[in-house]
């Protein structure tokens, strides 16, 4: 068994504050994983390291069957290797239509010349309509994405993530600002995607994590505190002390 | 699946208006027996060149979000490159003509020395500097119109974008670039005649027997064609996915990176392409102006360029044309001494000086109250679906 992504002994400090402290983490090729932890536990920094936004002070991050190191790669190179990211605050290109946002995300050659010479074919159009159907934005395709509601922007960003066709999806708080029905849809979608790809979900909402029904990694002060099923970690005394007890959630 | 670029309403309207304007000006020119003076035809032709460089500015700033305050340096370099050929070839003719009176035919070296003295005597030199090596070849100098601004932009852009210099820091860096270039050219030993610049550029070698009224028409039409072609090219590259990506870079650069696009490559592409367009515009402008000197590429010139685009309206291409034409023509009128002075009793507003104040106030007002510029008025007329 080879891990798709392996993070080993990674540390990073900002002005002396250790945001990530000797963190190790692995995920398989088709696995759904939830990462939980209190504020400041290093969840976002972890994602920044994997996606190349932050360079760790030490440790290694390797990717794929041939264990390519991601440490010297740029954000764009890492994205092209097949790691997609959805941000906590939905960031779509508000000035452009939903359709154009999806076109930009479609997995295609990314160079300037290929973008200039790009001609959308039937298959691409079909793919965009299928994605729009999936994220419930078929009627909004021609609209400027800045006009969408918060929840719809969340969906659009999920759609853009799917359009990239990544092997690993990093999803930061997908359910924030969604209705109950939408949460269920998101849950279904993520579980579905995780049948063929790796998905890492960072989430605060315990109900949502429970519905995902997957392995859970608890981060605390930049390292892994516990790992296992949700029931397993929620019974861990240390987890209760640092996280669950304090925030008052079940 | 992409609609043809020529089916976009704004492209059609711009091309039709440009064609109508060109036909009207040519028809009313002195050369065709009309009343439009040659100097006015030249001013209008130069304005078209300014519109072209404004389109380049809109591409790089309005679409890609790079507030370059150095694009006039590329414009000036284009002018210098073509100016070198004009001056060299013209001086060569004069020297050869003068030598015909002599008893012995001059050797090629003597001709070269005489040309050197003619051109560089004014800065106390007689030798032809190495950068004038190809000045006798029109074709190589025309190639340099594209290559010199292009390569400068490529190197400068590569260094700046690779280090992720953005925003106001990049603007300052581009100002520094154009200032450094201008200061360098001011030096007498820069090889481009210091503050004298290159002059007599309206005398195109080979067209001695053609009157200036006709030459001005040639350049006017060439400028119009270049503007039309530049507009179509710009509209074409921003109409598809490339346009989406660069506008994405303008709005949220980091997000574009996480989609897998190498943002630096896109910026470098746009920066270099627009530098080349600026160079071509400059190469058409200065033969109409007749003279180029280092003051032309002073930092303020590039700032004006940004002001034109802001007043005309960013990110809509035709806005750049409106802004450049409107402001530069008004500027010509106000600074030409034809605007009536206003006597306030205690002081007199002389527009030659106060025009700059008016322009400054207009810029502040547009920024505060009409961020879409004059071009934004179009949105009131055409409601977008």
Instruction: Please give the average per-residue pLDDT across B47-54, as a whole number.
Output: 97
- Report the run of H or E that residue A192 belongs to, with start and end: helix A180-193
Instruction: Please give the average per-residue pLDDT across B161-167, as a whole number.
Output: 93
Compute φ and ψ for B276, nearest 5 degrees: -65, -45
For the stretch A20-38, pLDDT in tens is: 999 999 999 999 999 998 8
Q: Decide: B64 and B250 in contact? Cβ < 8 Å.
A: yes
**pLDDT for B4 beyond 90:** no
Beta strands across the sheet bearing A168-172: A83-86, A168-172, A198-202, A32-36, A215-220, A223-228
Q: Residue ranges per domain, chain A?
A: 5-247
Pairs of residues, one from chain A and one from chain B, whose beta carbons lie less than 8 Å apart: 77
**Residue B58 to residue B365: CA distance in whole angstroms:** 20
Residues of A in contact with B242 (CB under 8 A): 112, 115-116, 118
pLDDT of residue B320: 96
Our CA-based measurement puts residue A212 at a distance from the nearest CA of chain B, in whole angstroms, of: 25
**pLDDT for B248 beyond 70:** yes
The nearest alpha carbon in chain B to A87 belongs to B255
**pLDDT for A249 beyond 70:** no
Which segments within chain B are labelled E, that is strand?
A: 198-199, 291-292, 342-343, 348-349
Task: Share the mean pLDDT of chain A.
Answer: 89
**pLDDT for B319 beyond 60:** yes
The nearest alpha carbon in chain A to B315 belongs to A95
**pLDDT for A246 beyond 70:** no
pLDDT level of residue A206 (50, 70, 90 thresholds): confident
pLDDT of residue A182: 86
**Residue A55 to residue A35: CA distance in whole angstroms:** 20
pLDDT of residue B383: 64
CB-count exposure of residue B382 (10 Å: 0-12, 13-18, 19+): exposed
Instruction: Please give the average per-residue pLDDT across A63-78, as a whole number.
Output: 91
pLDDT of residue A244: 58
Which of B63, B250, B260, B316 best tests the A interface by mutation, with the highest count of A CBs <10 A? B260
For the stretch B86-143, pLDDT in tens is: 999 999 999 998 888 878 888 888 889 999 999 998 888 888 999 999 999 999 999 9
pLDDT level of residue B283 (50, 70, 90 thresholds): very high
Instruction: Please give the average per-residue pLDDT across A62-90, as a whole number.
Output: 91
pLDDT of residue B194: 92
pLDDT of residue B252: 93
pLDDT level of residue B3 (50, 70, 90 thresholds): low
Residue bearing the bigger pLDDT, B125 or B362: B362
Which of A104, A147, A160 best tests the B interface by mutation, with the highest count of B CBs <10 A? A104
**pLDDT for B338 beyond 80:** no
Answer yes or no: CATH 3.40.190.10 is held by domain A5-247. Answer: no
Buried b (16+ CB within 10 A) or exposed e, B69-106: bbbbbbbbbbbbbbbbbbbbbbbbeebeeeeeeeeeeb
Q: What is the largest CA-CA distance in chain B?
A: 79
The nearest alpha carbon in chain A to B2 belongs to A119
Task: Name the pTM for this structure.
Answer: 0.92
Residues of B in contact with A103 (CB under 8 A): 241, 244
**pLDDT for A247 beyond 60:** no
- Partner residue opposite A79 with nearest CB, options B248, B260, B266: B260
| Residue B273 to residues B112, B151, B154, B228, Cα–Cα distance (Å) | 36, 10, 9, 16
| Residue A202 to residues A33, A46, A151, B229, Cα–Cα distance (Å) | 9, 10, 17, 51
pLDDT of residue B37: 93
Could you tell me which residues are beta bridge partners of residue A36?
A218
Which of A83, A109, A116 best tests the B interface by mutation, with the highest count of B CBs <10 A? A116
User: Do the chains contact at B269 and A112, CB–CB below 8 Å?
Assistant: yes
| Cα angle value A144/A148/A149 (rounded, 5°) | 170
A97: DSSP letter: B
Least confident of A176-185, B154-163, B318-327: A176-185
Which segments within A64-193 are labelled E, that is strand?
A: 68-69, 83-86, 168-172
Structure tokens at B63: 């679409």
User: Do the chains contact at A95 and B241, CB–CB below 8 Å?
Assistant: no
Percent of chain B whose predicted confidence (pLDDT) is above 70: 98
Question: ipTM for the complex?
Answer: 0.89
pLDDT level of residue A250 (50, 70, 90 thresholds): very low
Which of A52, A54, A80, A93 best tests the B interface by mutation, with the highest count of B CBs <10 A? A93
pLDDT of residue A181: 87
Instruction: Please give the average per-residue pLDDT across B173-181, as a whole number.
Output: 97
User: Do the chains contact at A115 and B262, CB–CB below 8 Å?
Assistant: no
pLDDT of residue B45: 97
The nearest alpha carbon in chain B to A91 belongs to B255
Residues of A in contact with B162 (CB under 8 A): none
A138: DSSP letter: G
């Amino acid at each position: 068994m080879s891990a798709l992504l392996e993070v080993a002994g990674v540390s990073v400090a900002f002005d002396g504050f250790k945001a990530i402290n000797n963190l190790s983490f692995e995920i398989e090729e088709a696995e759904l994983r939830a990462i939980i932890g209190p504020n400041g536990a290093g969840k976002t920094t972890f994602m920044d390291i994997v996606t190349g936004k932050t360079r760790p002070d030490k440790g290694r991050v390797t990717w794929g069957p041939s264990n390519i190191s991601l440490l010297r790669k740029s954000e764009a190179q890492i994205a092209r290797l097949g790691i997609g990211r959805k941000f906590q605050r939905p960031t779509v290109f508000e000035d452009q239509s939903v359709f154009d946002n999806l076109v930009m995300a479609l997995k295609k050659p990314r160079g300037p010349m290929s973008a200039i010479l790009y001609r959308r074919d039937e298959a691409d159009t079909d793919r965009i309509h299928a994605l729009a159907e999936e994220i419930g934005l078929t009627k909004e395709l021609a609209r400027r994405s800045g006009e969408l509601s918060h929840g719809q922007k969340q969906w659009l960003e999920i759609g853009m993530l799917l359009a990239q066709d990544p092997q690993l999806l990093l999803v930061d708080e997908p359910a924030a600002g969604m209705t109950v029905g939408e949460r269920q849809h998101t849950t279904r979608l993520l579980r579905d995607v995780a049948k063929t790809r790796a998905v890492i979900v960072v989430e605060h909402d315990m109900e949502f994590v429970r519905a995902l029904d997957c392995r859970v990694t608890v981060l605390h002060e930049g390292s892994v505190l516990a790992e296992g099923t949700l029931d397993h970690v929620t019974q861990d005394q240390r987890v209760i002390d640092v996280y669950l007890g304090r925030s008052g959630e079940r | 699946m992409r609609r043809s670029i020529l089916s976009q309403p704004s492209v059609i309207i711009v091309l039709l208006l440009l064609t109508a304007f060109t036909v009207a000006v040519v028809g009313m020119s002195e050369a065709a027996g009309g009343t439009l003076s040659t100097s006015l035809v030249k001013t209008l032709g130069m304005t078209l060149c300014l519109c072209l460089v404004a389109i380049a500015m809109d591409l790089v700033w309005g679409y890609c979000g790079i507030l370059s305050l150095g694009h006039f340096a590329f414009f000036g370099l284009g002018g210098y490159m073509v100016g070198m050929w004009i001056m060299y070839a013209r001086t060569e003719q004069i020297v050869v003509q003068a030598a015909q009176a002599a008893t012995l035919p001059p050797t090629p070296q003597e001709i070269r020395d005489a040309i050197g003295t003619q051109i560089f005597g004014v800065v106390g030199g007689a030798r032809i500097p190495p950068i004038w090596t190809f000045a006798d070849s029109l074709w190589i100098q025309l190639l340099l119109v594209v290559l010199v601004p292009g390569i400068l932009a490529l190197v400068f852009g590569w260094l700046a974008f690779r280090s992720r210099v953005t925003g106001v820091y990049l603007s300052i860096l581009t100002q520094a670039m154009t200032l450094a270039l201008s200061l360098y050219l001011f030096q007498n030993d820069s090889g481009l005649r210091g503050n004298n610049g290159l002059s007599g550029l309206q005398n195109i070698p080979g067209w001695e027997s053609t009157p200036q009224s006709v030459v001005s028409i040639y350049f006017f039409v060439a400028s119009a064609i270049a503007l039309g072609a530049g507009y179509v090219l710009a509209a074409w590259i921003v109409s598809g996915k490339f346009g989406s990506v660069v506008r994405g870079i303008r709005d949220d650069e980091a997000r574009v990176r996480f989609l897998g696009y190498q943002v630096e490559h896109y910026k470098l592409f746009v920066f270099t392409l627009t530098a080349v367009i600026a160079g071509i515009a400059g190469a058409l402008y200065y033969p109409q102006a007749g003279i180029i000197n280092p003051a032309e590429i002073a930092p303020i010139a590039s700032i004006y360029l940004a002001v034109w685009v802001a007043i005309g309206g960013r990110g809509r291409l035709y806005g750049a044309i409106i802004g450049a034409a409107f402001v530069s023509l008004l500027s010509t009128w106000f600074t030409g001494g034809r605007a009536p002075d206003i006597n306030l009793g205690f002081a007199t507003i002389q527009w030659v000086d106060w025009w700059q104040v008016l322009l400054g106030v207009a810029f502040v007002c547009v920024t505060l109250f009409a961020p879409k510029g004059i071009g934004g008025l179009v949105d009131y007329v055409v409601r977008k679906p």
